[in-house]
Amino acid sequence: MKILNIMLITFALLLTSCANNSGYIKKAGAYVTDIKLYDSKDPVNTKHNTEYKNTFMKSELYGVDYEICLSFVGDSKSMNLPLTALFHRADSTMIVRNHYDDEVEENWATSSHYGGWGWDVKGNWEQGQYFIEFYSGDDYLGTREFEVIDDMNLPYLSTIDSYVESIKLFESGAEAPEKGKRFYRTKFRKNDTRYVNWELNLQHMFRDRTDYRFHYLIYDENNEIFGEQVNDSYFEADWQDSTHNGGWGFKNSGNWKQGNYRVELYIDDELIATAPFQIVP
């Protein structure tokens, strides 16, 4: 049975860690500083800690919830704030229109607004790519993409007794942003691209601490090695999952050549994943 999981909870905050965004709500005089997604019933999420993500495990997922962060140009006024989230599949088929009115109180500098949609039992989401468009009235607030993966058919790595959940690519400067603030893609614009990073997500069986070595190579379209690096890593016995990342590129954008590339990722000399990408005009 489908449920509409709307949480009419708003917090007025003096400080916010949200990243820059571009949406603006005229009625409220507020900018959208970030929109973040999370698993509504993930047990790691508590009142004081939330793990934001845009990749979800099919077998564990109930609903996809969102947090909309606002920053007011001046102190806020008391008002009803209409919020709408349009859930779509990757082919733009709309799944649900999630609309509700939240509240803003006087003299808030920032606020966070929450909602979501899903099921009252886990495992009902179809595997695939999705996106959500956010509005307040006619004002467009932003779009967030997410993926539901079929974790019952994950590639198994015998060398470390683990499963590959996903490998994704994202752009950054010399320092990669933390997970939850990464924008994944397979096409990167030449004039906007500095480092192309890979992110590997693993699901672990329970065992002793395991140490291993990552070796990754980036090949250009002539099948020549463009970049290469070796990193040591590990996971502890009580870790159910772990995330690893690395990257290759330049301090400044504009130095990549247009064309097709691929990342090959090895663990202890075993090829575990290949991720193609393009540098486009």
**Residues contacting 207, CB < 8 A, separation 6+:** 161, 237
Longest dimension (CA), the chain: 61
Q: How far apart are CA 200 and CA 179, in angstroms?
A: 11
Percent of the chain whose predicted confidence (pLDDT) is above 90: 49
pLDDT at residue 22 in the model = 63
55, 151 in Cβ contact below 8 A? Answer: no
The answer to whether 2-149 and 154-280 have equal CATH topology is yes
The HSE-up count of residue 158 (CA atoms within 13 Å, CB side) is 1
pLDDT at 41 over 90: no
pLDDT of residue 96: 96
Residue 25 near residue 32, CB atoms below 8 Å: yes
pLDDT tens for residues 170-216? 999 988 898 878 888 888 999 999 999 999 888 887 667 888 888 99
pLDDT score of 207: 66
Cα 245 to Cα 275: distance, rounded to the nearest angstrom? 13
User: What's the pLDDT band for 6 if we cut at 50, 70, 90?
Assistant: very low
CATH for the 154-280 domain, from 3.40.50.300, 2.40.10.220, 2.60.40.10, 2.60.40.2550? 2.60.40.2550
For 222, left (φ over 0), alpha (ψ -120 to 50), or beta? alpha
> What pTM value is reported for the model?
0.54
pLDDT tens digits along 46-55: 777 787 888 8
Q: Is residue 154 scored above 90 in pLDDT?
A: no
Do the beta carbons of residue 54 and residue 36 sit within 8 Å?
A: no
pLDDT band at 258; cut points 50, 70, 90: very high
What is the residue extent of each domain of the chain?
A: 2-149, 154-280
How far is Cα 236 from Cα 204, in angstroms, rounded to an integer? 9
Superfamily of domain 2-149: Macroglobulin (MG2) domain (2.60.40.1930)
Arithmetic mean of pLDDT over the chain: 85
Confidence class of residue 1 from pLDDT cuts 50, 70 and 90? very low
pLDDT > 50? residue 9: no
Does the pLDDT value for residue 124 go beyond 80? Answer: yes
